[in-house]
Structure 1
Amino acid sequence: MSAEVAPDEDARDLLEDLVSIPSPTGEEREAAERLAAFFEDAGREVWLDEVGNVRAPADDSVLLTSHIDTVPGEIPVRVEASEDGIEELWGRGSVDATGPLAAMAAAAVATGVSFAGVVGEETDSRGARHLVADREAPDAVVNGEPSGWDGVTLGYRGFLAGEYAVETDSAHTSRPEPNAIQTAMAWWSRVADAFEVGGSDAETPVFEQVTAKPVSFEGGTAADGLSVEAGVEAQFRIPPGESAADIRETVEGAVESGEIEWREPIPPVMESPRTEVGRAFRVGIRRVGGDPRLLRKTGTSDMNLYAGAWDCPMATYGPGDSELDHAPNERLDLAAFDRSIAVLKRVCEDLEE
């Protein structure tokens, strides 16, 4: 049974303030300033760097870091009791990832470890990319994303995005030759078939699969009326053991006409549960009355970038039910938020020894 933990009122105030400040990607400044003020009030050195990250370096035995930005969407901010009597904070970002962000800020102030709140995670991870280019590796990293207060995430799939474009001469629609829109549709059908999991692989966990997903499809007659154009923006999740190069080769092999422009990939990551960070979380969660759960996520996070750049142990942790990420009913159990701070404090104290 989980332990009762006294609420940290300053942390709860920070959480509610941050959730109340809209901070979709590209509009994080006001939330970043509120976060920086929390560290200033605690007497900590803090600043906003050139990309907008909140930087509060200190004891580098561990770096606590989470993202400031959220996806768009307005959810009225309020505290309500659920049908089970659980006190919950509703609002965009309460789970992904303002809850983990505020918990980490509170734990960093309480223990004196380093902290960074980064921008842009929901799009291009520009904050994390800048962070790894601008500072030395810490001794350990705890990245903030919802895992549940008694869970710790050790693995994420990687990410690859690209845009396919094709053009054909315009022609009367009675002609049988495929136009660019049909060509693009046929290309995507071949890509989907190439990555379909079935037969003997039907029981393969999603974490171990390549997931191919179109996220936008555009097409029509060009402005000059002389051609038909089509474009597909596609995303691919890369499991451990697969590479972006292999996925690109498969996707490009499905192209009969047109071309693909690729973006920089993010590699997958799978950390061992036997590292100092994994051990510290197992101990910390048990001390707060939980039964530790070790997780693998099918998405991608900034931890992928940290693992690719820094040779140190790491994990991802934070309060919140990840099923509510980006959802219209996003809400955070406040008692679980309090317990997550207690776990983070114990983890930091353990790693500081």
Structure 2
Amino acid sequence: MITLKQLAKELKVSISTVSKALRDSPEISSETIEKVKFLANKYDYRPNKIALSLKSNRTLTIGVIIPDILNRFYSKVLNGIHDSADKHGYDVITINTKESLLKEIDSLRILSTGTVDGVIIAMSEETLNKNDYSHIKEFTMKETPIVMFDRVTDKINCDKVIIDDFDAIYNEVKSLKDLGRKKIGFITTINDLNVGKYRANGFRKATFDFYGKFNKNLILRIPKNHDKHIEIEKFIKKNKPDALISADIICGVISINIARNLNIEVPKELSVVGFGDKTISEYSSPKLTTIYQHGTEIGNRSVELLVDRMNSKWFGLNKNLNSYSTDIIPTLTIGGESK
């Protein structure tokens, strides 16, 4: 197995230069980084992470805290995190909070003991409902960088990666109006979450802007303990909408299936659009038109922000450590057959 010393000798640079280039240090030119990585890949170089950790006091590990590992969106984000972490030479530790505030508190406590160099987190539903961010604020007081994604709050000062939930729904209402739809309904099962509220507010504002009024009866909020099929069927029968936007993908699929059972033609008589993972959209006939969230890209960008923050810490760069960025990843409406 080739060593750093051998790579440095062949490239006629110092061992330090090779080491920094492999970690994408801003001290090294992009041309040198490219040459070093090309040769390292050629010889299948693998760093000794234990030795690196002992020498630099770094673990080369990122901690990821997600609220629901079975959720396809978070699975996509996690894939993106792993891809980008691998590129930068980091391992990933993943903790599933199962939407529990207590589990989230314990997770941050575990990760604050020096086991990771940085943390990426999406808050649990219980954390948001209780409006309790004290454990995250406490964590930000430590030296371990943190990045929040999807479920974020302005009460925490850190880098964030989100999509514009408000604009995504607002623009979809406009698109449906342009298609001639006159009575658009909105279905949500996530109104207690900040992302759900943003989507509902986007719908409310768009219907007022484009139709001159807002009808609160055209928003269906389904509590967790209620049967989605029953609630959606009652909503469609009572309000007779000619378009539906679902704040999640499952209710979008259910809406199409219920419409078919009610002999309502989709999309001729009823357009349906869902928010979420495009794979699940295929479980309806016709295939559901989907507002896609780009989960993989959110994961990639979260790692890039975290690595940049960690590099600023480790390499002593002149980055303003009190200045944070919020990156907005644009959504994309994927044309199924239901719009």
Higher helix share: 2
* TM-score, L = length of structure 1: 0.28
Higher RCO, 1 vs 2 (CA within 8 Å, ≥6 residues apart)? 1
Q: Which has the larger radius of gyration?
A: 2
* TM-score, L = length of structure 2: 0.29
